[in-house]
């Protein structure tokens, strides 16, 4: 697709849906949710074409950037495994009371899991009845608001904010991979629950209702996870800039870290230090196994 020439802010135009976006840009960029479609009759915003050498150098720059992002995404894959291994190896042996009971059977975890289960039931029912999850518009609103909020944190301005049941987008003058992936990284629906708990915790009697906050937190977190999983395989334009491999690796790592932090809060006897020790142990075992495989392959090839 032809790229628009750089102009003053008031004349800048957003690129068409699906155009690959750079990791950093000073021009206005349109960031979409998964269901957004190009507007009818939308045309290229470039005034005329681009030269052959400009096209070649642009393509080489694009190829170099995407290749680098893919390489970094592949390097993140071992961390995905190690973080998952550390999570399960730490909490599978956890006990949260003076009487030794498995952490997975503790009252705190069961209330959190109950909230997750309630949302999963509703998610499945909505897909069965309407062939799509509900409430879709609420998710699109959270999705685009997270884009906009993150863009503002990075100093960007929001020129357009659009939300419909079929999708939405924002147009901003700031773009990087954090802004593009923000809706998949941060569980925005959980923030009101945490804020409410932070206010209620000032009153001593609120401790008697702690389990309801845990259930609400589980429901909000599962809302984030299910919609994220539903959107990932559909072909998000959000991933065109960072690349699919890089995006999926970062999304997985951040969500596992958030889940780990949530579990640490639910199991007070488990500390971040204990989890870190488990992570180091998992990393040591992982790279020891990798080195043994490399050594075995080397000896096999050298023996021929």
Q: Convert the pLDDT of each residue in 9-63 to its tens digit.
A: 333 344 343 333 333 333 556 665 543 333 333 333 333 444 554 554 454 455 5
pLDDT of residue 14: 40
Say how far apart CA 46 and CA 119 lie, in whole Å: 46
Pairing of strands 29-32, 167-172: antiparallel
Average pLDDT of the chain is 75
Sign of CA dihedral 196, 201, 206, 209: positive
- The pair of structure tokens assigned to 303 is 């023996």
| Length of the chain counted residue by residue | 304
**Residue range 255-277: average pLDDT?**
80
- Local structure of residue 168 (DSSP, 8 states): E
Task: List Cα–Cα distances, 167 to 94, 149, 236, in angstroms.
Answer: 42, 18, 11
**Residue range 190-214: average pLDDT?**
80
pLDDT at 304 over 50: yes
Say how far apart CA 168 and CA 214 lie, in whole Å: 31
pLDDT of residue 13: 40
pLDDT at 99 over 70: no
Query: Pick the residue with more confidence: 240 or 102?
Result: 240
Read off the pTM.
0.72
Closest CA to 82 of 290, 247, 242: 290
pLDDT of residue 29: 63
The residue ranges of every structural domain in the chain are 30-35+51-289
pLDDT of residue 129: 92
In the sheet where 29-32 sits, what is the strand order?
29-32, 167-172, 158-164
What is the band of 151 on the pLDDT scale with cuts at 50, 70, 90?
Answer: very high
pLDDT of residue 115: 93
pLDDT at 260 over 60: yes
């Amino acid at each position: 697709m032809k790229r628009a020439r750089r102009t003053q802010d008031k004349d800048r135009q957003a690129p068409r849906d699906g155009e690959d976006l750079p990791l950093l840009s000073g021009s206005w960029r349109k960031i979409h949710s998964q269901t957004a479609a190009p507007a009818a009759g939308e045309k290229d915003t470039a005034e005329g074409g681009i030269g052959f050498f400009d096209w070649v150098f642009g393509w080489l720059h694009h190829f170099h950037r995407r290749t680098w992002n893919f390489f970094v995404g592949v390097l993140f894959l071992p961390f995905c495994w190690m973080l998952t291994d550390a999570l399960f190896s730490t909490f599978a042996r956890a006990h949260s009371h003076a009487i030794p009971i498995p952490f997975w059977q503790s009252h705190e975890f069961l209330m959190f899991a109950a909230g997750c289960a309630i949302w999963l039931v509703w998610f499945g029912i909505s897909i069965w009845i309407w062939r799509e999850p509900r409430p879709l518009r609420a998710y699109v609103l959270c999705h685009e608001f997270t884009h906009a909020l993150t863009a503002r944190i990075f100093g960007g301005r929001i020129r357009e904010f659009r939300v419909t049941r079929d999708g939405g987008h924002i147009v901003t003058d700031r773009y990087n991979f954090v802004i593009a992936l923000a809706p998949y990284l941060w569980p925005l629906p959980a923030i009101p629950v945490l804020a409410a708990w932070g206010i209620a915790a000032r009153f001593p009697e609120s401790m008697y209702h702690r389990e309801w906050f845990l259930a609400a937190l589980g429901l909000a977190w599962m809302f984030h996870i299910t919609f994220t999983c539903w959107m990932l395989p559909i072909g998000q334009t959000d991933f065109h800039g960072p690349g699919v491999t890089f995006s999926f690796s970062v999304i997985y790592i951040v969500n596992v870290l958030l889940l780990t932090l949530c579990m640490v809060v639910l199991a007070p006897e488990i500390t971040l230090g204990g989890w870190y020790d488990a992570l180091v142990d998992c990393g040591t075992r992982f790279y020891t196994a990798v080195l043994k495989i490399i050594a075995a392959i080397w000896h096999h090839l050298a023996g021929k």
